[in-house]
Amino acid sequence: MPGLIDAHWHSLFAAIPLPALLTADIGYIQLVAAAEAERTLMRGFTTVRDAGGPSFALKQAIDEGLVPGPRIYPSGAMITASGGHGDFRPLSDFPSAGGGTTATERTGALGIADGPDEMRRRVREQLLQGASQIKLTGSGGVSTPRSPLDALTLTEAEIRSAVEAAADWGTYVMVHAYTPASVTRALDAGVRCIEHGHLMDEATAARLAEKGAWLSTQPFGDGTSIPQSEQGARDAERVHAGTDRIYALAKRLGIKTAFGTDLLFSAALTPQQGMMLTRLTRWYSPAEALRMATATNGELMALSGDRNPYQGKLGVIEEGALADLLLVDGNPLENLSLIADPARNLRVIMKDGRIHKNTLAA
C-alpha cells in the first residue's frame, strides 16, 4: 500500500511536554523533534503536513538525508492574534509594549498579528522561509488555557489579508476553527481548508461543502489529548462530543475530508498515530479510511501549488508517483487495526525509493 500521510501534525510539538516547549533551548527541542521524526516514519507515515511550528530546519535535514523522517509540508509559525489560540504569554508580559516579539515568536513557533497589515507581514515572513501553506488560528483552542473555544480570535479582514498574501505566492491558508461562527468567517475570507470544525452545525457544514473547501479533521476521543487546565479538560470534552457529528455530516454532505491526528505534547501519545486512523472505521470502511490517509491526503498536499516542495504524486502506487510503499503483514482492507501496531505489522517501509525498514530477511 502507499505510505500514510498525516494532514495535521506538529513535528516540533508532538513529543515534548508543553512546559518544556515553552522554556527549553530551541536546540534541544529540535533534537527531540528529530528523534520523533524517525519514529513517525517507522509508524508508516511517509509524509506529514506540519500545522504550525519551526520545522524548516528539520525538513531540510530530512530532505538531505541527515536524519530519517517523513517529508514535511511546513507552515512555519502558527499565526494568531493577541489572546488567540497559541498565545501562551504569561500574565506578567501584560500590558505588552506592542510592536515587539515574544520569546516564543523568536523561536519561530508562533507569530502574533493584530490587524491586516501585520498579518500580511507575518504571512510573507513564513513564505520567505519556505512555507508550503499558511496556518492561522481563527478560534480558541483546547491547549491554550485563556483562549476559549467560542472566541473569534481573528477578524475577517485579517484572515482575508493572509489569504491574499498566500495566493500571491501560489498557495493557500488553513485555519484552526471549531465553531460555526469561526468556520463561517474563515470561509467568507476565502479560506480553502478548515482545521478541526468539530463544533460545526449542519448549515455551516453545508456551506463548506458548497464552497468546495477542505475539512481537515481528526477522530478525537478519550486518551488522544492531554488538557493543560480545567478549562482545557472541559473544552476537550466538547470537541470529543462533536467528533461523531462532524464525520457524519462530512460523509453525508460529500465534504472533501482529510485525515490528521494533531497529537501534541506527549511522547506517550504519539505512538497512537496509526491507532487514530483505525478510529475512522466508525464512519468509513477500511478501504475508505486508507484512501483518505493516502490518495485523498495526497490531493490536499498538492493544494500548495507553486509552493509544493516535492515534485511527484503522493498517496498512490503508479508509475511516476513518489515511491512511498508499505508492506503490511496481513490485509488492512479486512483488518485496519494492523496499522495500529506498526512495529509488528509493517514489514517494509520505503520512502522516496529508499528502504528504511525491512524485516523480510530477518
pLDDT over 80 (residue 223): no
Q: What does residue 123 show for φ and ψ, rounded to 5 degrees?
A: -60, -50
Assign 100 a pLDDT band (cuts: 50, 70, 90). Answer: low
pLDDT over 80 (residue 215): yes
Which helix or strand (DSSP H or E) is residue 70 part of? none
Q: Cα separation of 333 and 325, whole Å?
A: 16
pLDDT over 90 (residue 93): no
Mean pLDDT of 98-109: 78
Average pLDDT, the chain: 94
The amino acid present at 25, given as its one-letter code, is D
Q: By C-alpha distance, which of 6, 78, 1, 2 is closest to 36?
A: 6
Give the chain's radius of gyration (CA, Å): 19
Domain ranges of the chain: 4-358
Please report, in angstroms and rounded to a whole number, the separation of the first and last CA atoms in the chain: 21
Q: By C-alpha distance, which of 122, 124, 191, 131 is closest to 156?
A: 191
Q: Cα separation of 170 and 160, whole Å?
A: 15
Q: How far is CA 101 from CA 87, 88, 104, in A?
A: 12, 13, 8
Q: How far is CA 128 from CA 147, 166, 284, in A?
A: 29, 11, 39
Assign 91 a pLDDT band (cuts: 50, 70, 90). Answer: confident
pLDDT at 103: 76
pLDDT at 80: 96
Q: Where are the beta strands (DSSP E) in the chain?
A: 4-9, 45-50, 71-73, 78-80, 110-112, 134-137, 173-177, 193-196, 214-217, 256-259, 325-328, 346-351, 354-358
3-state class (DSSP) for residue 222: coil
pLDDT over 70 (residue 122): yes
Q: By C-alpha distance, which of 148, 178, 151 is closest to 239?
A: 178
pLDDT over 70 (residue 76): yes
What is the CA angle 56-60-63, rounded to 5? 135
Q: Cα separation of 23 and 6, whole Å?
A: 27
pLDDT at 232: 80
Q: Is 8 left (phi over 0), alpha (psi -120 to 50) or beta?
A: beta
Q: Cα separation of 271 and 56, whole Å?
A: 23
pLDDT at 114: 95
**81-90, 169-178, 245-254: least confidently modelled range:** 81-90
pLDDT tens, residue by residue, 31-72: 999 999 999 999 999 999 999 999 999 999 999 999 999 999
Please classify residue 201 by burial: count the beta carbons closer than 10 Å to its beta carbon, then call 0-12 exposed, 13-18 middle and 19+ buried.
Answer: middle
The amino acid present at 93, given as its one-letter code, is D
pLDDT at 228: 64
Mean pLDDT of 302-314: 97
Please classify residue 25 by burial: count the beta carbons closer than 10 Å to its beta carbon, then call 0-12 exposed, 13-18 middle and 19+ buried.
Answer: exposed
The pTM score is 0.96
| % of the chain residues with pLDDT over 70 | 97
Tell the CATH topology of 4-358.
Answer: TIM Barrel (3.20.20)
Q: Do the Cβ atoms of 85 and 153 come closer than 8 Å?
A: yes
pLDDT at 99: 62
pLDDT at 16: 95
